Structure 1
Amino acid sequence: MPARPLVMYPDPRLKAKAAPVEEFGPELEQLAQDLIDTLVAAPAIGLTGPHVGAMQRLVVVRLADDALVRVYVNPQIVWTAPETRVEREGSVSMPGISEEIERPARIGLTWRTLSGSEEQGAADGFLAVVLQHEIDQLDGIFWLDRLSRLKRERAIRRYGRQRG
């Protein structure tokens, strides 16, 4: 399928909590493929169901311009390390705007595969940051919510000026 249109800020769906995936099968696989196609077309590093208006807990991540795309269904962070890392973050739903955000440098998480099997693992460095950003999105926490009020207001004003 072709890439889907992106939900753009300030659409309220970007602040809504996504529902857990309960049905595993062809429809979920198609949504995952649509997300992958949209991720590549955007281009983006990570994308969630809500980014395309599908309010389901589904994340796809591609860290580099290679073929490896990770798919996480119903991901949950189960632990975070005390060490932190600062990365510049933004969103395909608010292009051209980014700010530095501090997050835990390592996380543990659980998720399901597209076939429904349970997985668990850990992520560190940039992958940990990307997963936290995308899981926030599933929880209705848009990346701007991680900024101070002043930085958030400035970012929103810059975005408004940029859009004309």
Structure 2
Amino acid sequence: METLTIAQLGNPILREHASPISAGQYQSLAPFFSALQKKMQEHDGVGIAAPQVSESIRAFIVASRPNPRYPDAPLMAPTLMLNPEITWASDSMEKDWEGCLSIPGIRALVNRHSHIEVRYDTLEGKEVKTQLAGFIARIFQHELDHLNGLVFLDRADKADYYTEAEYLKQIAQG
């Protein structure tokens, strides 16, 4: 498999609506999903969507863990989510920091639903329905936006954009 390259803001693929994956394709895509997870980990990501490496398919990985980019992130096993969707979202919203591997050096405060119910398929073709909250719900919503041609800056007020250096100062101050 060729080395994956992260598409940067301005690449048209980040503005496309990704295509659903048929259950018959799941296993043939397994090597790609393994490479996608490796790419996310190389860049200290807590999630990555297939369109971010120029594959316009409805798949992403959620993998929250503390790292230099998100020191307070909760720990969870990397989870591949195929054809994901939100089936319910809370009225309560939370504004918090987001960044993106496709938009390096920029952070913004983004308002997201604090609790969501989701469904997705596993690589084995099993349907999963679950509830997500807090930071993990935020990751899911961020990655789902990628499948719908959106980036986090589309959801942020321009006054809430920060450079990475300023963001690090802000979180260090508490």
TM-score (norm 1): 0.86
Aligned-partner Cα distance in 1 for 2:114–2:76: 25
Structure 1 residue 3: deviation in Å?
5.2
TM-score (norm 2): 0.81
Q: What's the C-alpha RMSD, in Å, of the aligned pairs?
A: 2.1
C-alpha displacement of 1:17:
0.7
Closer/same/farther in 2, CA of residues 141 and 25 from structure 1, 3 Å limit: closer
- Taking the TM superposition and a 5 Å limit, the aligned residue runs for 1:70-109 are 70-109=79-118
> Equivalents in 2 of 1:25, 1:108: separation in Å?
23
User: Residue by residue, what CA displacement relative to the aligned partner does 1:38-69 show, whole Å, maximum 9, x if unpaired?
Assistant: 11111211000000001001111211156821
- Note if contact 2:27-2:124 (Cα within 8 Å) is conserved in structure 1: no
CA deviation after TM superposition for structure 1 residue 2, in Å: 7.3
2: distance between equivalents of 1:74 and 1:120? Answer: 12
Moved more, 23-32 or 75-84: 23-32
Matches within 5 A, 1:59-138: 59-64=60-65, 68-138=77-147
2:57 aligned with 1:56: yes
Alignment length (residue pairs): 155
Contact residue 3 and residue 41 of structure 1 kept, 8 A: no
Partner of 2:172: none
Q: Percent of pairs identical after alignment?
A: 26
**1:12 matched to which residue of 2?**
12
What secondary structure sits across from 1:121 in the alignment? strand
| Corresponding residue for residue 21 of structure 1 | 21
Alpha carbons of structure 1 residues 122 and 144: separation in structure 2 relative to 1, 3 Å? same
Counterpart CA distance in 1 for 2:98 and 2:35 is 23
Cα-to-partner distance string for 1:85-130 (whole Å, 9 max, x where unaligned): 1110121011110010111100001100011111111100100011
Q: Could you list the runs of 4 or more consecutive aligned residues of structure 1 that deviate by over 6 angstroms after TM superposition?
A: none
2:34 — aligned with what?
33
